């Protein structure tokens, strides 16, 4: 089990402004599994993704990631988990605009402890089909290419799990399909767990398992 | 640990390289701040040193035993009890004080007239002993002072060896050094004599050359005022003839003045002398205190300048970090710890300050040498300790200026920054 969550609760604000974003979520994910999480706006998808990505902590409940108790980790230990265990792919790509593709892909390795392979970013870019674009900056790339750079940045860490936040949301259907194909291939090659958040049911259907969130709870 | 530090340094270097305008602006602010501090400190320290030097040259450690002045049979000033210093007292005074002082010099001061070519000047004539040389702190501009072998000639027609003040020599020659070896014709107490200049005494009062207010003293006629003018012709003391106007006692240091003064007062008491005792230290101490306050003002400006640099660089750094908030958030998501994003910000400020130090100091020295020295007329002074202290303060300022942006970065929640662009 790579993810084991039990009774996760996350509450924002106090008094009248109190919002229960997640209300007793249980979740277990096996290694190499591809799951899709769908739900309406405000259903708690982004909060769950933040907790899964060690960017936020639950107020209650237990969360074990790859056997480690995330709730008890310090801030710097959570940063290390993000760097070594989790890859992120965002809807808006979130690439550094003043860096070329190779530098963007190399970014996570700046924070890797110990020696890192200097050829790894180039290899990953080659794998996503962008070897001829390594010196291009994001503004010189198409939307689909930018997302492939973002996927390469996630994979350069050799993560146990990749969290995808609407990865096809800013892409046309052809580019979206290419990106999803690529993610599926990489999952098969590397046995990486994929957690994908989306509005698009067509996209969600590609997953092994589809989970629906409603008002901070699983909806059957 | 070392690898991390090297990565932070490389990251800081990248930040500098990728934002040349911002980096240039920050470095320029640091350099201008440093140069202004250097020029202000250099000016104030230089002025302080110059004034201290001049005041010391005037005699901060001198004690004068002054005989009461008389105009014919009329005593001038507060009446004194006891008798004035006569020739017979000089040996006693010398024996009593020579061991604890640099010199004990009897001085006979007269107003006289000296002519050379078509130029004549009314000035003071000071007959004294060679020991007076220790009082002349700046030393000789040219030649030497009166020595033991210089005597007043027995034959009135013979030439008298004399030393001349630089300022008096300047009344006759464009270059005061030209007075050396020249024979002047002078009148003292109605008797004419010829003097040959064996030395030109350097003018200790540098300020007088540049401050017109001192010209007012040229109309003064009191001995202290005359002393300020330094328009003296120094003549050999005649032991059997000259009666001292005053005896000048030169203490080894300013700190010794009180102990020497105690001995002088005891001597005056024992010998029953009726003299005025004038201690230069008392009034020069007041002036030095004013200079110290002036110096304190300099330090205030020094601090103020650094505060201005702090505010400017802090503002630039803060604006810069606001612009790169998204980048910081991405770095945090990708595994950067708070320390890993804060360190490059701090290092960037420190590195820019280090880069700016050389040009800043150089610019400050240029301002001092080419801008301030020619205007003020005195040498500026830049103590190494002050420069080192300023550099350290600047380095601290640069780090302080980076603290606000660093705190902003440390408080950043990457999920909330990146979440604004999500559509979940």
**Averaged pLDDT score across all residues of chain B:** 82
Task: Determine whether the interchain pair A75/B335 forms a contact, defined as Cβ–Cβ distance below 8 Å.
Answer: no
Handedness of CA A26, A82, A107, B323 (dihedral sign): positive
- Spell out which residues of chain A touch residue B424, defining contact as CB-CB under 8 Å: 41, 45-46, 49, 165-166, 197
Say if CB A101 and CB A134 are below 8 A apart. Answer: yes
Q: Spell out which residues of chain A touch residue B335, defining contact as CB-CB under 8 Å.
A: 79-80, 82-84, 108, 111-112, 157
Q: Is the dihedral of CA A35, A40, A46, A51 positive or negative?
A: negative
**C-alpha A16: how far from chain center:** 32
Q: Answer with the residue of higher pLDDT: A6 or B343.
A: A6
- Put residue B381 in one of left, alpha, beta given phi > 0 → left and psi -120 to 50 → alpha: beta
pLDDT at residue B228, as a whole number: 47
pLDDT digits (tens, 9 = 90+) for B92-115: 999 999 999 999 999 998 889 999
CA dist B269 and B134 (Å) reads 27
Closest Cα to residue B29, out of B308, B298, B366, B301?
B308
Most B CBs within 10 Å, among A13, A55, A97, to test the B interface: A55
Instruction: State pLDDT tens for residues A105-117.
Output: 999 998 888 777 7
Instruction: Residue count of chain A, please give it.
Output: 220
Counting residues of chain A whose pLDDT is more than 70, the rounded percentage is: 100
Q: Are B353 and B400 in contact (CB under 8 A)?
A: no
Q: How does residue B323 score in pLDDT terms, banded at 50, 70 and 90?
A: confident
Smallest Cβ distance to A83: which of B335, B338, B422? Answer: B335
Mean pLDDT of chain A: 91
What whole-number distance in Å separates Cα of residue A213 and Cα of residue A217?
6
Is the model more confident about B390 or about B211?
B390
Which tokens in the block code for residue A111? 């924070």
Task: Identify the pLDDT of residue B222.
Answer: 42
- Highest mean pLDDT: which range of B73-77, B185-189, B203-207, B213-217: B185-189
Rounded to the nearest angstrom, the minimum Cα separation between A189 and chain B is: 22
CA distance B419 to B415: 5
Backbone angles phi, psi at A12, to 5 degrees: -110, 145
Structure tokens at B238: 């005649």
- CB-based contact, A46 to chain B, within 8 Å: yes
* Cα–Cα nearest to A88, from A44, A152, A37: A152
- In angstroms, the separation between the Cα of residue A18 and the nearest Cα of chain B is 18
How many CB atoms are closer than 10 A to CB B124? 21
Q: What are the start-end ranges of the H helices in B60-141?
A: 87-97
- Choose the weakest-confidence range: A1-10, B64-73, B304-313: B64-73
pLDDT above 70: percentage of residues in chain B = 86
Pick the closest to residue A71 from A83, A81, A79, A63 (CA basis).
A63
| Candidates B7, B338, B415; nearest CB to A56 | B415
- Name the percent of chain A lying above pLDDT 90: 63
Q: In sequence order, what are the beta bridge partners of B127?
A: B108, B235
Whether pLDDT at A7 is above 50: yes
Question: How many Å apart are CA A193 and CA A161, to the nearest integer?
Answer: 4
- Cβ pair A88:B326 closer than 8 A: no
- Which string of b and e fits A105-117 if b means at least 16 CB within 10 Å? bbbbbbbbeeebe
Q: Cβ contacts of residue B410 below 8 Å, gap of 6+?
A: B338, B341, B342
Distances (CA, A) of B20 to A60, B14, B15, B25: 47, 10, 9, 8
Please give the residue of chain A at the shortest CA–CA distance from B328.
A96
Report d(CA A86, CA A103) in Å as an integer. Answer: 19
Is A118 within 8 Å of chain B by CB?
no
Instruction: Find the CB nearest B424 among A41, A75, A84.
Output: A41
Inter-chain residue contact A91 with B423, CB threshold 8 Å: yes
How many other C-beta atoms lie within 10 A of the C-beta of residue A37?
25
Identify the pLDDT of residue B375.
Answer: 81
Range name among A56-70, A147-161, B42-56, B370-384 with the lowest pLDDT average: B42-56
8-state DSSP, B402: H
d(CA B67, CA B318): 72
Q: Is A87 on the interface with B (CB under 8 A)?
A: no
Q: How far is CA B99 from CA A151, B85, B249, B278, in A?
A: 93, 20, 12, 21
- Residues in chain B, how many? 424
Q: Are B335 and A114 in contact (CB < 8 Å)?
A: no
Are the beta carbons of B335 and A79 separated by less than 8 Å?
A: yes
Residue B290 confidence class, pLDDT cut points 50, 70, 90:
confident
pLDDT digits (tens, 9 = 90+) for B229-275: 578 899 999 999 999 999 999 988 777 888 999 999 999 999 999 88
Does the CB of B332 have a partner CB in chain A at under 8 Å? Answer: yes
The 3-state DSSP class for residue B227 equals helix
Closest to B169 (Cα-Cα) out of B114, B128, B206: B114
Q: Nearest CA to B336 among A147, A54, A177, A72?
A: A54
Longest dimension (CA), chain A: 55
> B203-234: string of b/e by CB count within 10 Å (b at 16+)?
bbbbbbeeeeeeeebeeeeebeebbbbbbbbb
Question: CA–CA separation, B330 vs B325, rounded Å?
Answer: 9
Q: Which residues pair with B293 in a beta bridge?
A: none
Cα dihedral: B127, B130, B131, B135 (round 10): 70
B423: closest CA of chain A, how far (Å): 8
pLDDT, tens digit, 9 for 90 and up, residues A18-34: 889 999 999 999 999 99
- The residue assigned the tokens 């990708």 is B334
Chain B residues with CB-CB distance to A53 below 8 A: 333, 415
Give the residue with greater pLDDT, B398 vs B75.
Answer: B398
Residue-level pLDDT at B206: 41
Q: Which two tokens stand for residue B163?
A: 């030393």
| A54-58, B187-191, B308-312, range with the lowest pLDDT | B308-312
Domains defined along chain A, listed by start: 33-57+75-219 (3.40.50.300)
Closest by alpha carbon to B126, among B191, B70, B188, B180? B188
- Please tell me the predicted confidence (pLDDT) of residue B281: 67
Q: B422 — contact with chain A (CB < 8 Å)? A: yes
The two tokens of residue B250 are 């030169």
The torsion defined by the Cα of A46, A48, A54 and A57, in degrees rounded to 10, comes to: 110
Q: What is the pLDDT of residue A160?
A: 93
Cα angle B66-B72-B77, degrees, rounded to a multiple of 5: 40
The verdict on B1 touching A (C-beta cutoff 8 Å) is no
For residue B235, report the phi and psi dihedrals to the nearest 5 degrees: -120, 155
Whether the predicted pLDDT of B57 surpasses 70: no
With bands split at pLDDT 50, 70 and 90, how would you rate the model's confidence at B384?
A: confident
Q: Does A169 touch chain B (CB under 8 A)?
A: yes
Whether residue A201 has pLDDT greater than 60: yes
* Nearest residue on chain B to A99, alpha-carbon basis: B18
Residue B341 has pLDDT above 90, yes or no: no
Q: Do A92 and B422 touch (CB under 8 A)?
A: yes
Q: Which residues contact A80 (CB under 8 A, 6 or more apart)?
A: A113, B335, B337
pLDDT at B224: 42
């Amino acid at each position: 089990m790579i993810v084991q969550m039990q009774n996760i609760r996350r509450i924002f604000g106090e008094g009248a402004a109190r919002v229960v974003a997640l209300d007793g979520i249980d979740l277990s994910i096996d290694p190499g599994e591809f799951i899709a999480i769908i739900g309406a706006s405000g259903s708690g998808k982004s909060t769950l993704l933040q907790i899964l990505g060690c960017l936020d902590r639950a107020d209650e409940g237990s969360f074990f990631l790859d056997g480690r108790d995330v709730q008890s980790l310090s801030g710097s230990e959570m940063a290390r988990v993000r760097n070594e265990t989790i890859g992120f792919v965002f809807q808006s790509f979130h690439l550094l605009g003043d860096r070329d593709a190779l530098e963007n892909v190399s970014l996570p390795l700046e924070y890797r402890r110990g020696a890192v392979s200097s050829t790894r970013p180039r290899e990953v870019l080659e794998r996503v089909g962008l070897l001829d674009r390594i010196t291009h900056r994001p503004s010189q790339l198409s939307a689909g290419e930018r997302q492939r750079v973002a996927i390469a940045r996630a994979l350069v860490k050799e993560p146990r799990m990749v969290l995808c936040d609407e990865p096809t949301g800013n892409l046309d259907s052809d580019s979206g399909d290419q990106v999803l194909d690529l993610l599926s291939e990489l999952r098969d090659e590397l046995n990486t767990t994929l957690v994908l958040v989306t509005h698009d049911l067509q996209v969600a259907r590609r997953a092994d398992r589809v989970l629906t969130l409603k008002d901070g709870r699983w909806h059957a | 640990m070392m690898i991390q530090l090297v990565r932070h340094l490389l990251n800081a270097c990248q930040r500098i390289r990728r934002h040349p305008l911002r980096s240039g602006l920050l470095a320029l602010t640091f350099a201008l701040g440093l140069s202004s501090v250097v020029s202000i400190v250099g000016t104030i320290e230089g002025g302080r040193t110059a004034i201290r030097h001049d005041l010391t040259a005037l005699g901060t450690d001198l004690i004068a035993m002054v005989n009461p002045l008389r105009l014919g049979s009329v005593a001038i000033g507060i009446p004194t009890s006891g008798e004035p210093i006569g020739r017979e007292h000089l040996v006693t005074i010398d024996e009593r004080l020579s061991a604890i002082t640099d010199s004990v010099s009897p001085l006979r001061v007269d107003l006289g007239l000296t002519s050379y070519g078509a130029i004549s000047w009314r000035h003071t004539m000071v007959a004294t002993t060679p020991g007076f040389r220790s009082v002349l702190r700046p030393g000789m501009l040219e030649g030497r002072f009166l020595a033991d072998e210089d005597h007043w000639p027995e034959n009135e027609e013979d030439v008298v060896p004399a030393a001349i003040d630089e300022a008096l020599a300047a009344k006759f020659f464009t270059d005061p050094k030209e007075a050396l070896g020249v024979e002047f014709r002078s009148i003292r107490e109605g008797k004419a004599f010829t003097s040959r200049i064996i030395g030109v005494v350097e003018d200790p009062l540098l300020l007088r050359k540049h401050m017109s207010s001192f010209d007012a003293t040229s109309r003064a006629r009191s001995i202290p005022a005359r002393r300020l003018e330094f328009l003296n012709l120094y003549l050999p003391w005649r032991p059997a003839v000259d009666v001292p106007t005053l005896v000048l006692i030169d203490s080894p240091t300013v700190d010794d003045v009180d102990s020497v003064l105690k001995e002088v007062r005891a001597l005056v008491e024992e010998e029953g002398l009726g003299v005025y005792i004038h201690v230069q230290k008392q009034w020069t101490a007041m002036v030095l205190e004013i200079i110290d306050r002036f110096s304190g003002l300099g330090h205030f400006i020094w601090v103020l300048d650094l505060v201005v640099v702090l505010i400017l660089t802090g503002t630039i750094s803060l604006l810069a970090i606001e612009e790169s908030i998204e980048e910081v958030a991405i770095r945090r998501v990708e595994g950067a710890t708070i320390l890993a994003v804060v360190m490059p910000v701090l290092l960037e400020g420190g590195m820019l300050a280090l880069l700016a130090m050389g040009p800043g100091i150089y610019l400050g020295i240029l301002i001092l040498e080419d801008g301030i020295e020619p205007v003020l007329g005195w040498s500026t002074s830049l103590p190494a300790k002050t420069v080192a202290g300023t550099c350290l303060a600047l380095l601290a300022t640069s780090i302080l200026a980076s603290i606000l942006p660093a705190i902003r970065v440390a408080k950043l929640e990457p999920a909330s920054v990146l979440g604004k662009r999500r559509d979940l």
